[in-house]
Amino acid sequence: MTGFALGAEQEEWCGHLRALAADRLRPLADKGEPGRVNRPLLAALGELGLLDRVFTSGALELCLLRESLAYGCTEAETALALQGLGAHPVLSSGTPEQRARWLPQVRAGRAVAAFALSEPGAGSDAAALALAAVQDGGVGGGGWRLSGEKCWISNAPEADFYTVFARTGEGPGAKGVTAFLVPADRPGLSGEPLDMLSPHPIGRLSFDGVPVGPQDLLGEPGRGFRVAMDTLNLFRPSVGAFAVGMARAALDATLAYTAARPAFGGVLGDLQAVGHRVAEMATRTEAARLLVYAAAGAYDAGSPDVPRRSAMAKLLATETAQYVVDHAVQLHGAVALQRGHLLEHLYREVRAPRIYEGASEVQRTIIAKELYR
C-alpha cells in the first residue's frame, strides 16, 4: 500500500471479501434472530478462515477485512469483530493454558467471546469501573470473588467466556484494575439480554461472588487497564473501517438510485443539489478511509502516536458514516424507511459506533490530551 492507494492484491482480496459477504454470509445473517448470537454465521466465518485472520493480521489488514465485510453484511462484520475484541486480550496477555483452551475454539467459530468493560456507572470513564474483586481463597487458592454488574456488553449473556475488568485496588483509578478470563459457567455469573437499537446481541451481566483465581488472570494484577487500552488502540481504527464500509455501501446505493430515479424530466442525479450532496458524501468517505488506513499503518509500524491516530480515525469515520447514511436516506426518500431496505438497516447500525469503544466525545478528549502532551 502507498500512502494513498491499496495495492492490486489488496484490492483483489477486498473484492473477494465483499463477494463472500454478499453471497455466503448474508443468507446466514438473514436467518439469524436479531439480538441473539448467530452461531451458524460464526461457524462460517471460522470455516472460511476469516476469524483466524483477526488474530494473525496486522491492523491494516484487520481494517480491510472489517471494511469489506461491512460493505456486504454488517452482521458478519460485527460477529467477527466481537470475537476479536473479546479474545484479543487472551492472545496478548493470556497464559499458554488459556490460549490453548480458548483461541482455537474462537478461531473456529465454536466459542463465543465477549469484552466486558462497561458498567452502568462507568462507560466513557472506564477507569471509574466499580466491579469489585475481593481477595478470597477462590479457585485454586489466592483468588478473588467478583461482585457487581457489567452493562451493554456485546455477545452477553450468550458468550462462552468473558474478558472481565474488575477493581482489585492496587492503586487509585486505572492503577487498581485487573483483567480476568471468566468462563460463562462460573457459579454466581448470570445475565440478561437488552433490547437495543442495533441488531447484534448486547446484554447485562451480574456477578454475585463469582470465583476467579490466579489461573484466570490476563496479565498482572493492577495492570488490567493497559490490557484494555492495548486492545482498544488496535480495534479503534478498525471500528472506523466498519464505519467506512457502511458509508461506502450507502454511497454506492445512492449513486445507483439517483442515477436511475426519474425526476423533473430527467433523473435525480441531474439536479445540482443532489450531485453536490453526493460529491460531499464521497469526499468525506474517502477522507475517513484514508485516515483509518493511516492509523492502522501507524499501529503496524509501532508509532508512538497510535492513541492519537486511532482516536482520530474512529472519530472521523464514525461521524462521517452517520452523515453519509443519513443523507443517503434523505436522497432515497420514503423507500429507504421501509423495513428490510439496505438503508433502513444501515441507519440502525450506524448509530452505535459513535458510542461504543469510546464515544466521539472521548475520542476528542484523547486527541486533545495527546496534542498537549
- Asked if residue 1 belongs to a domain, the reply is no
Q: Are 218 and 90 in contact (CB under 8 A)?
A: yes
Please tell me the predicted confidence (pLDDT) of residue 171: 78
Where in the chain does DSSP place strands (E)? 113-116, 132-136, 143-154, 161-167, 177-183, 189-193, 202-212, 217-218, 262-263, 266-267
Same domain, 66 and 124: no
Query: 255 and 212: one domain?
Result: no
Query: Per residue in 340-349, pLDDT tens?
Result: 999 999 999 9
User: Is 25 in the same domain as 144?
Assistant: no
Tens digit of each residue's pLDDT (9 = 90 or more) over 251-307 = 999 999 999 999 999 999 999 999 999 999 999 999 999 999 999 999 999 999 999
Q: Examine the domain organization and report whether 234 and 366 are in the same domain.
A: yes
Q: Cite the active site residues.
A: 357
Distance CA 263, CA 269 (A): 9
Q: What is the pLDDT of residues 204-232, one digit of tens each?
A: 999 999 999 999 999 999 999 999 988 98
Q: Report the percentage of the chain scoring pLDDT > 70.
A: 97
Confidence of residue 108 (pLDDT cuts 50, 70, 90): very high
Q: Is residue 289 part of a domain?
A: yes
The cell numbers describing 252, all together, are 454506492
Average pLDDT over residues 76-88: 97
pLDDT digits (tens, 9 = 90+) for 308-346: 999 999 999 999 999 999 999 999 999 999 999 999 999
At 149 the pLDDT is 97
Verify that 314 and 348 share a domain, yes or no: yes
Residue 34 CB coordination number (10 Å): 13
Task: Write the CATH number for 139.
Answer: 2.40.110.10
- Of the two residues 18 and 138, the one the predictor is more confident about is 18
Give the domain CATH number at 355: 1.20.140.10
254 in any annotated domain: yes
Q: Are 110 and 200 in contact (CB under 8 A)?
A: no
CA separation, residue 100 to residues 45, 105, 349 (Å): 20, 9, 34
Please say which residue of 172, 205, 222 terminates a domain: 222
pTM, entire model = 0.93
Residues 36 and 84 in one domain: yes
Taking all residues of the chain, what is their mean pLDDT, rounded to a whole number?
94
Residue-number span of the structural domain to which 209 is assigned = 113-222
- Residue 136's pLDDT is 85
Are residues 362 and 231 part of one domain?
yes
Q: What is the pLDDT of residue 182?
A: 98
Lowest mean pLDDT among 59-68, 125-134, 362-371: 125-134
Show which of 171, 204, 222 is a domain's final residue: 222
Where residue 3 falls among pLDDT bands split at 50, 70, 90?
low
Is the pLDDT at 1 greater than 60? The verdict is no
pLDDT at 2: 54
**What pLDDT sits at residue 57?**
92
Residue-wise pLDDT tens digits, 135-172: 986 455 579 999 999 999 999 999 999 999 999 988 77
How many domains are contained in the chain?
Answer: 3
Give residue 128's pLDDT: 83
Same domain, residue pair 247 and 205: no
Instruction: For residues 247 and 316, state if they share a domain.
Output: yes
**Structural contact between residues 257 and 268, judged by C-beta atoms closer than 8 angstroms:** yes
- Residue 199 DSSP one-character state: S
Its sign, for the CA torsion 315, 165, 70, 355, is negative
Distance between CA 87 and CA 81 in Å, rounded? 10
